Amino acid sequence: MASFQGKKINPKHFHISQLKFYIILLPFAVFMVLPIIYIFTTAFKPADELFKFPPSFFVKNPTFDNYKALFELMAGSSVPAARYLFNSIIVTVLTVVISIFLAVSAGYVLSKKNFKGRNVLFEINTLALMFVPIAVSIPRFIIIVNLGLVDRFIANILPIIAMPIGVFLLKQFVDQIPDPLIEAAKMDGAGEWTILFKVIIPMVRPALATVAILSFQSAWGNVEASTLYLNNESLKTFAYYITTFSSGGSSTVTQGITAASALIMFLPNLIIFICMQSKVMDTMAHSGIK
């Protein structure tokens, strides 16, 4: 057991020596959780509190009026809200599955296969991390138009399945898998697909969970495809549908609907992150990110 002058460096249970870390980290933790609390409280504020000046952080008289107004607008829509929700679920599931498969496959090839241009490809992928999605929106639009995918459901999925951060994380994880383990699998007659699914994937599960979270967030809240590539309302996603209710001005009804829809869109991300946050921490600890 590691120790320094007879004291544990990292005790499993609370120790008085850890108190200084709590004093430093707890204020930061409280500061980081404040936006989440604000999203929850604002969604249940009545109209008079939404426009109160100075604004109040916490809700004093919680109400469900914002959600009632939101559901009334949904009921009056020409396309059922269930259709938008169904589209979002399909898009999100397919995006997560395809993104994970592409990331782990590319990570395996870039890590364990020797071929000309391997390092160049990985450098290009690393360079792609510098670009935010809005910076490549015009090239994306040109590609989608030239491929003839305007007003096609696949336009919701294709632009967001490539995740440079996912390839980077998976490549870093696969680097840590011993080469003799893969060679032993080959000697036992395993093919490349068998190695990928039976050896690589079970050993990089923390990274897969992280990629799943990132791809879920990208797909669930994506409105770019519905705004730029799709004219058919029945092909658009729930995120776009929600934004149409919150863009009608600054009235009390609109502000209340905006607050309620923001919480609806935020909750799935929060739940998934809470369920998988330990995997995310493992990924960051082993991926080489400092």
| CATH value at residue 163 | 1.10.3720.10
Tell me the pairing of strands 3-4 and 7-8: antiparallel
CA separation for the pair 256, 45 (Å, rounded): 8
183 within a domain of the structure (yes/no): yes
68 within a domain of the structure (yes/no): no
Question: CB–CB of 261/70 below 8 Å?
Answer: yes
Q: Is 117 left (phi over 0), alpha (psi -120 to 50) or beta?
A: left
20 within a domain of the structure (yes/no): no
Residue ranges making up the domain that contains 158: 79-286
34 within a domain of the structure (yes/no): no
5 within a domain of the structure (yes/no): no
230 within a domain of the structure (yes/no): yes
Q: What are 235's strand-pairing partners?
A: none
Residue-wise pLDDT for 112-133, tens only, equals 988 888 899 999 998 988 888 7
60 within a domain of the structure (yes/no): no
221 within a domain of the structure (yes/no): yes
Count how many domains the chain has: 1
Question: CB–CB of 185/198 below 8 Å?
Answer: yes
Q: What is the pLDDT along the chain (290 residues), one digit of tens a residue?
A: 444 444 555 556 666 777 777 888 888 888 888 888 888 888 888 878 877 778 788 888 888 888 888 888 777 777 788 888 899 999 999 999 999 999 999 999 999 988 888 899 999 998 988 888 788 888 889 999 999 999 999 999 998 898 899 999 899 889 888 889 899 988 888 888 999 998 899 888 888 988 999 899 889 988 888 888 988 888 999 888 888 776 655 555 677 788 888 888 888 888 888 877 766 666 555 554 43
Nearest to 269 by CA among 239, 242, 247, 249: 239
**What's the pTM?**
0.79
Question: CB–CB of 156/93 below 8 Å?
Answer: no
